[in-house]
Structures are given as C-alpha cells and as structure tokens.
Amino acid sequence: MQCLRFISGEENPRIVRPVKELKGFARVELKPGQTQTVTIPLTDRSFAFYDSDSKSWRSDKGAYDVLVGSSSQKIELKASVTWR
C-alpha cells in the first residue's frame, strides 16, 4: 500500500510557518509494477493558515512549492504554483 502526500511550502512567507505542511493525501494499493493516476485536489484552504489576530483563514499570494511523495523525506514530484 502506498500513501501519497501533498505538501505545501510557501517560498517567501510573511509569517513563520513550517517548512512543509501536509495538505492532503491519498492511500493507494498497488501490486508490484502496477501504476495508477491519483488526484489530490487543491482548494483555497490548501494554501491557507488560521490568523488568530483576525480570527479567520488567510491565504497569502505568492509562489508555493507542491511536493508529492511517500513521505516528507522521500519527495518524488515537485512543482511550483502561484496563488493569486
């Protein structure tokens, strides 16, 4: 069984945030040599953080790294997206 994780990291954060944050995952059972396409949706909340001052969720505009792998240490795919 493989568990794929989507991890987001803002390139230039305005507040202190973890370097990597788990934002979604999918558990997939594969036989040896088998492949499968997996979709992990990105929503507004995927890029958001809770702002305790305003007591609301906020998303900072900017570039984010999208990392996919079987663990935070074993990244197999990486892309950069811009959140506007």
CB neighbours of residue 69 within 10 Å: 16
Element (H, E) at 58: strand 56-59
Domains assigned to the chain? 2-32+42-83 (2.60.40.10)
List Cβ neighbours of 68 (8 Å cut-off, separation of 6 or more). 4, 5, 6, 7, 40, 75, 76, 77, 78
Over residues 3-51, the pLDDT tens digits come to 555 556 666 667 777 878 888 888 888 899 999 998 888 888 888 888 8
Q: For residue 27, give the amino acid letter.
A: R
What's the half-sphere exposure (Cβ side, CA atoms, 13 Å) at 37? Answer: 2
Banded pLDDT at 2 (limits 50, 70, 90): low
